[in-house]
Structure 1
Amino acid sequence: MSDSTDVANTPLWGPVTSLALQNSPHTGLRLRDLPEFLRAFADVKLAAVRANRDLGVLDAVRAEVIAEAAGEVARGDLLDQFPLRVVATGGGTSTNMNVNEVLASRASQLLPPDVRLTVHPNDHVNRSQSTNDVYPTATKVLLVRQAIEVASVLRKLARSYRRQAEQHEGVQRLGRTGWQDAVLVPVSETHQAHAVAAERFADQFDVAAQTLHAVQLGGTALGTGVGAPAGFARLAVEHLTEITGLPLRPSASTVDAYAHADGYSLLADTAARCAGILFKQSQDFLILSSGPNGGLSEVILPKLQPGSSIMPGKVNPVVPSMVGQASFSIRAAAVAVGMAVAAGEPDFNANGPSVVANLSPALNELAAVVPVFADRCIDSLHWNRARLAELASHPFDSLIEQAEKDGYDAVAGRSA
């Protein structure tokens, strides 16, 4: 059998991929730019080929080489063979056929030289499948993995906040309402609140991921099961569960799964709301660290890099600024996903490529910026205790206590 490096840069795709390349724009996000998606697709194809082999509808020789080719794609060995845009012509069929054609060509190369067989992209690689069930199943595997990663980094952020809470136990800061002085707030409680929010969103990502555990593999055309042998759906999902290590299950109603893609919206909305809170937290640190002379200067953020190309010595809060800007594209992606989910047909939603093209990069962005926020900002910040003491010298705490004794109007008159 040949080494996968022998086929590097050798076109393995076939006529359908070539037509899609001709009919689609030549710029934009490509399948090869999302190796996690190709890995998920390859995992689905591997599950299908194992089920077909077990059911006797695919011979063992072809099954072995298709499985080997799928393993190469899953490892990222053949990324150059996936030049299609994520949003290409068709509702995912071009992508499915790009995968089918590459796997068929590579599997044919992997056949022993004394075996006179060929591997066909439709008859063998796509056996018992259609784009209608393969594409959304691969999408769910992709998004579940990404949601799990985002939940993990959010819990890391929460731990960073809790360490700050412990380090600043007993320190007080002046809280504000309407940007005016209010009452004293423990710094530890401020960071505990940050941690609670991060953990809450981690839990919500777990919940959103669970809604995508139900996959429609084996539903073929429109969820009716036409085109797959009896028992294929159950067996294929069992294999996919083993391959991915995810707690997947067959959709309770494949017709529902084909017609309604609201699970994507739940995950996208969770990402958007999380990005909104991260934006809020990053902006809070921008405000509290403002200065050093003309602002609050309550928080001192790590000095990481020059903040100006013309003002020597100026240092800006670059990480909170990055987090805030990253939130814009994440929240925008949720809008696009919501539109794609709502725009389905009566029996099927063909907008899966739009979901992948928007939601997968958004989740990647979250998974990328949150650890940097934790490592390069939260873990290294400290509170300016002298400044806190100065600003906290005249809080409203005592006035509230006096009002409880003497009445609101009397105290308000004395403090006016």
Structure 2
Amino acid sequence: MMRTEHDGLGEMQVPDELYYGIQTMRSLQLSPVSHRTIGADAFTLMKYLAAIKKAAARANCQIESMDERVSGAICQAAGEVMQGKWTSFFVVDMFQGGGGIATHMNVNEVIANRANELLTGEKGYSMVHPNTHVNMGQSTNDVLPSAMKLSLYEKAETLIAQVESLREAWLTKAEECADVVKLGRTCLQDALPVTLGQEFGGYASMLDRQIRYLREVQTECLQLPLGATAVGTGVGLLPGFLPACYRHLQEITGWELHSEDNLFDGLQYADVYLRMSAVLKSLATGISKMSRDLRIMSSGPNGGLNEIELPSAQPGSSIMPGKVNPILPELMIQVSYQVCGNDYTVTMAAEGGELDLNVWESLIVKCLFESFTLLTESIPLFANKCVSGIRANRDVCRSYAETSTAVAAVIATIFGYETGSDVAKQAIREQKTVKQVVVERGLLTAQEAEWLLDPVNLTDPKRLDDVLVRIRQK
């Protein structure tokens, strides 16, 4: 069976089993572009578009601009959308022109057809129209960015939980490796000793900062441009609608929502998405850096550093038996590359706003949602299947720390830079340890050298200070 629908461009036959209508059908004539649909890739956005529709229907009923039965049917249909019941009917492509109207009307049409079905037993718009009723008091220009912000708030909350788990994994590993002394490295060259626990603790601290950044930008997502309608003037709103709509939307979401201070600003500028994207990039590149560290520290086992062992995830070669690759660190590095690429696209889309509206929000949604998904899905894999199973090769780490000439920096602290430099050069030239050279030169007794150049002491400023005081007193 077919039903006839019409819009401003004419009429079209729509298969009766479809819950979307003519405007969605027109958008499908321009698809597929990416073969990625809003239902499959942006369900959270559909969820909060429906939440706004539900709040608006309640508000319109409250101010007596909408029949109670119509309002109730819209609310039920929107609630079903929020539960994911009609996701297969959100079919427009993630890439679309028109400032997101294809996405918005897809939602309006599904809710209208389902609401009409609830009231009459048939799809169509005999009692509930997608524009007249479902969209009453709204515009794509204020509804879409409002739903985007609510979606990002939820996604940030989910991501924060995953980052907190990764931070805890590093804190646990830092405690476990607190006494594993190793060689520090700067510019990939030998540096003063550190402990593996200190390095891992630095990773946890970085993640703690990223969580704080996420929290800060997350709160900005609760300031909505809802009520701006088309250009910021609020044309189309009936008296009493907006405060009632915000009140009902707060009840639906459970979040304390506020209107943008300036609705014209809210429609014109997309910098909140830019800040969110920047935080995702900051997080991704931080995790990429720690992943790169793990690849270096686990390199070998015979021809590399071999300071740590990573859990084996899968065979590392189709031709070399026994080879195991750092699969998960490499996965996280690739996620970072994609998040950085998405951030550049969001930057261009935010900059590209013109006059009274930024029309590139569909692309912003695509990029931000992809970055959130990649990070949210990959971080727990990294935490549980890589970080939690790291094992330190303690003897290898200790050997590097004890034989490095970088500890000559401590000799320079006591006897001056020139002396420290001479000691280091002699140790390299004669293939001796710094400890051996300073004792041979009579700079320190064997006991003093043992105190001062113990790599463990060099990782603890307080302990090193105590040793230096004792030597200076002698």
Structure 2 residue aligned with 1:73, among 76, 81, 87?
81
**What secondary structure is seen at the aligned counterpart in 2 of 1:185?**
strand
In structure 2, the residue matched to 1:4 is none
- 1:272 and 2:284 aligned: no
* Other-structure match for 2:49: 41
- SS of alignment partner, residue 292 of structure 1: coil
CA distance in 1, matches of 2:384, 2:70: 48
Q: What are the within-5 Å matches in structure 2 for residues 17-416 of structure 1?
A: 17-33=24-40, 34-111=42-119, 118-396=127-405, 398-416=407-425
The SS at the match of 1:223 is coil
- Aligned structure 1 segments of 4 or more residues deviating by more than 6 angstroms: none
Give the drift of 1:227: 0.3
Distance 2:305 2:159 in 1: 32
Q: Secondary structure at the match of 1:173?
A: strand
1:23 is paired with a residue whose SS is: coil
- Secondary structure of 1:184's aligned partner: strand
Partner of 2:438 in structure 1? Answer: none
Q: Number of paired residues?
A: 408
Instruction: Please say which of residues 395-404 and 100-109 is displaced more in the overlay.
Output: 395-404
Q: Helix, strand or coil: the match of 2:29?
A: helix
Once residues 36 and 96 of structure 1 are traced to their aligned partners in structure 2, the CA distance between those partners, rounded to angstroms, is 13
Partner deviation per Cα, 1:45-75 (whole Å, 9 max, x = no partner)? 1111111111111111011111111111111
On the 8 A contact 1:14/1:102 being kept in 2, the answer is yes
TM-score between the two structures when normalised by the length of structure 1: 0.94
The letter of the residue matching 2:81 is V
SS in 2 for 1:224: coil
Q: CA deviation at 1:296?
A: 0.4
1:84, 1:113 → 2: CA distance?
26
Task: Name the amino acid aligned to 2:96.
Answer: A
Q: Which stretches in structure 2 are left out of the alignment for 5+ residues?
A: 1-15, 426-474
Alpha carbons 1:286, 1:320 under 8 Å: kept: yes
Q: CA deviation at 1:398?
A: 4.4
Give, in angstroms, the shift of residue 309 of structure 1. 1.6
How far the C-alpha of 1:319 sits from its partner, in A, is 0.6
Cα distance in 1 for residues equivalent to 2:24 and 2:326: 46
The CA deviation string for residues 70-128 of structure 1, in whole angstroms up to 9 with x for no partner, is 111111111111110122231111111111111000111111669x9611001100000
Shift of 1:397: 6.3
Q: Are 1:15 and 2:30 counterparts?
A: no
In structure 1, C-alpha distance between the alignment counterparts of 2:138 and 2:28, rounded to whole Å: 23
Aligned AA for 1:75? Answer: Q
In 1, the alpha carbon distance for the partners of 2:71 and 2:292 equals: 54
Quote the offset at 1:413 in angstroms: 1.6
Contact 1:24 1:89 in 2 (8 A): no
CA shift digits 1:357-390 (9 cap, x unpaired) = 1111111111111111111111111111111122
Q: Secondary structure at the match of 1:62?
A: helix
Counterpart amino acid of residue 298 in structure 1? E
Would the aligned equivalents of 2:34 and 2:94 in 1 still touch at CA under 8 Å?
no
Q: Residue 338 of structure 1: CA displacement?
A: 0.9
Name which of structure 1's ranges 297-306 and 389-398 shifts more when overlaid on structure 2. 389-398
- Give, as a single letter, the amino acid of the residue that structure 2 aligns with 1:44: I
Mapped to 2, the partners of 1:18 and 1:242 lie a distance apart of 34
Indicate the structure (1 or 2) with the bigger Cα radius of gyration: 2
Letter of the 2:36 partner, please give it: L
Question: Do the aligned partners of 1:156 and 1:371 also contact (CA within 8 Å) in 2?
Answer: yes
Question: C-alpha displacement at 1:400, in angstroms?
Answer: 2.2
Deviation of the 1:235 alpha carbon:
2.1
Greater CA deviation, 389-398 or 215-224? Answer: 389-398
Answer whether contact 1:151 1:203 (CA < 8 A) is retained. Answer: no
* CA displacement, residues 260-284 of structure 1 (integer Å, 9 cap, x when unaligned): 1110000001111111111111111
Residue type of the alignment partner of 1:17? T
> Which amino acid counterpart does residue 38 of structure 2 have in structure 1?
L
CA distance in 1, matches of 2:308, 2:49: 46
Query: Is the CA contact 2:309–2:392 (under 8 Å) kept in the aligned structure 1?
Result: yes
Contact 2:353/2:360 (8 A) holds in 1: yes
- Check conservation: 2:190, 2:406, Cα contact below 8 A: no
- 18-27 vs 279-288, which moves further: 18-27
| C-alpha displacement of 1:234 | 2.3
Distance 1:239 1:156, change over 3 A: same
Cα shift at 1:333: 0.6
Give me the whole-angstrom Cα distance separating, in 2, the residues matched to 1:156 and 1:27.
33
How far apart, CA to CA, are the structure 2 residues paired with 1:26 and 1:178?
45
**Maintained 8 Å contact 1:152/1:202:** no
Partner of 1:6: none
> Contact 1:136/1:216 (CA < 8 Å) preserved in 2?
yes
Distance 1:296 1:150 in 2: 33
User: Which deviates more from structure 2 when the two are superposed, residues 246-255 or residues 283-292?
Assistant: 246-255
- Segments of structure 1 that go 5 or more residues without pairing to the other structure are 1-8
How does the TM-score come out when normalised to structure 2?
0.83
